[in-house]
Structure 1
C-alpha cells in the first residue's frame, strides 16, 4: 500500500540520468560499498537524486475528494 501511495514521488528521469552517470564512473570490480560511495561523490554538490525522493510531495486530491469522484 505504501508503494502505491508513493508512486507520485517517482520520476524516471532523475533515476535514469543518475544511473547512467554512475555506470560511467564505476567498473565491474566495484563492491556494493564502492558503488554507494561513488554515488554519494557523484551527487555531492546538488543532492538532486537524493532530494528527489526525500522531499515530500503532495497529491492534489484528499481522500474525501477521491471518494466523491469515484462515486460520481
Structure 2
C-alpha cells in the first residue's frame, strides 16, 4: 500500500479548509438562535447529544438553507 493510505489521503498533513467541515463558518451569525438553543440543550442535559437531536437538526437545516442561498444550483 502507498504512503497515502487506503483512500489516498496524506496521513499527518494539516487539512486544508474544505476538508475541515461540511459548512462554511457562520460569519454573519444567521443561525445564532438555533446554535444557542442547541448549546443550551447540551448544557442542560450534561452533553447528552441524543437528547438534543431536534435542536441539532434545526441548526443544521438553518446552515444548509443559508449555504443554498450562497451557492444556488442552476
TM-score interval, normalised by the smaller of the two chains: 0.3 to 0.5
Query: If each structure's helix is expressed as a fraction of its own residues, which one has the higher value?
Result: 1
TM-score normalised by structure 2 residue count? 0.36
TM-score, with length taken from structure 1: 0.37
**Bigger CA radius of gyration:** 1
Q: Which has the higher contact order (CA 8 A, sep 6+)?
A: 1
